[in-house]
Amino acid sequence: METPEEIRVRWRYLRDMLIEQLGHFESGALKMHEAGVNVSTDAIWRLKQNISEFDRLICDSEGKDA
């Protein structure tokens, strides 16, 4: 089982990668298509929501660890 600090370190790494990918979506360098329809705008929104939600979970858990 990972310690809370190991989880935070892994999350920060993953978060940085996700933010980098969002930059590619927003610049148009990377696009997602489903059945021939560009879903990049929706993908960006969902990723941002997921990042924010997980950030809140991490912050909440840090408060409980203190």
Residues 8/58, Cβ–Cβ less than 8 Å: yes
Residues 43/50, Cβ–Cβ less than 8 Å: no
Q: What is the structure's pLDDT at 66?
A: 44
Domain holding 32, by residue range, is 4-65
Query: pLDDT 10s per residue in the chain (66 long)?
Result: 888 888 888 888 988 888 888 888 888 888 777 787 777 777 788 888 888 888 888 788 777 654
Q: What is the structure's pLDDT at 64?
A: 61
Tally of domains within the chain: 1
Is the pTM here over 0.75, yes or no?
A: no
Q: For residue 10, how many C-alpha atoms fall within 13 Å in the half-sphere facing its CB? A: 6
